[in-house]
Amino acid sequence: MFNLMPKIAVFSETTDLKQQADALAQHLSLPVAENPDDYDYLLILTDQALALKKNGVKTLPLVIDFLSGPMTYRRQHASLKRETLARALGLKGHSTDKIVDATAGLGRDSFILASLGFHVQLLERSPIIQVLLEDAINRALPDPQVGPIVSRMHLCKMDSIHWMQQQTIDMRPQIIYLDPMFPERSKSALVKKEMLMFHEVIGDDPDAGELLSVALTCATKRVVVKRSRLSAPLLGRIPSFTMEGSSSRFDIYLI
């Protein structure tokens, strides 16, 4: 674990991507790596995808890929009945409720909801995760099967607390979903390497409690919080009811 924020730089695999790398580095206020070994993490531009790589370890780079085998399996097997998340959000086939995923992260939960036919507004505040997500959505758009799904994922690059505070009464979404990072997740022996890397780069979400408080004043129907199975409810606030997923729990707050 890094005690301080890790040193991150942008790196292009080939010289013809250099201009794009310079623009990305400027956008993220990161350096361009002249000597990649000087950094803990590299945001690598390749012809195929944008990848986040931890230096000096064998772990595979983090690439968000909605066309990957596991995501294809997830989307092909997703159903309203099978997806606990969809049931926790109270979604029915004809539902036109506005759904906001206020902690978009790697976009996996939103992708499942979009695979079920729903439009989802994804809010993400980490600039590095924003560019990884945007890259993944753009790469998937031309695909005949996945393109229509990712076109239902509407990415908004901003802090959710700020976004929710800006919503006027008629703009408020019916459903808000929260899956913040928790310190205890990183300590779990079971934590996946990918999640660990994610955690090192973006850190904890110490304001997760505030996120819940604001969400409860913004959503008009329900707020759903994903928690690890044994953790206490966020802010100690008892939910209206809970649902157990395969590896997590959903705390459902009816408004």
Ligand X SMILES: C[S@@+](CC[C@H](N)C(=O)[O-])C[C@H]1O[C@@H](n2cnc3c(N)ncnc32)[C@H](O)[C@@H]1O
Judged by CB under 6 A, the chain residues 48 through 107 that form the site for ligand X are: 103, 105-107
Q: Which stretch binds ligand X (CB under 6 A): 7-15, 28-36, 42-50, 153-161?
A: 153-161
Considering the complex, what minimum distance in angstroms separates the CB of residue 65 from ligand X?
A: 12
Interaction of residue 108 with ligand X, rule CB under 6 A:
yes
Considering the complex, what minimum distance in angstroms separates the CB of residue 102 from ligand X?
A: 6
Question: CA dist 178 to 25, 100, 160, 205, 227, Å?
Answer: 29, 9, 10, 11, 9
Residue number with CB closer to ligand X (32 or 127) = 127
Considering the complex, what minimum distance in angstroms separates the CB of residue 52 from ligand X?
A: 12
Nearest-CA neighbor of 193 among 83, 60, 89? 60
Residue number with CB closer to ligand X (33 or 181) = 181
Considering the complex, what minimum distance in angstroms separates the CB of residue 185 from ligand X?
A: 8
Residue 77 Rama label (left phi>0; alpha psi -120 to 50; beta): alpha
Nearest-CA neighbor of 12 among 38, 59, 48? 48
Residue number with CB closer to ligand X (33 or 211) = 211
Which residue stretches of the chain are H helix? 18-28, 69-77, 84-88, 108-115, 127-140, 147-150, 160-166, 183-187, 193-202, 208-218
Judged by CB under 6 A, the chain residues 160 through 219 that form the site for ligand X are: 160-161, 179-181, 202, 205, 211
Considering the complex, what minimum distance in angstroms separates the CB of residue 240 from ligand X?
A: 21
- 251: β partners: 225, 242
Assigned token pair, 34 = 């002249």
Q: Which residues contact 110 (CB under 8 A, 6 or more apart)?
A: 101, 104, 120, 122, 153
**What is the SS3 assignment for 250?**
strand
Residue number with CB closer to ligand X (50 or 181) = 181
Residue number with CB closer to ligand X (121 or 126) = 126
Sites of contact with ligand X (CB under 6 A): 103, 105-109, 123-126, 129, 159-161, 179-181, 202, 205, 211
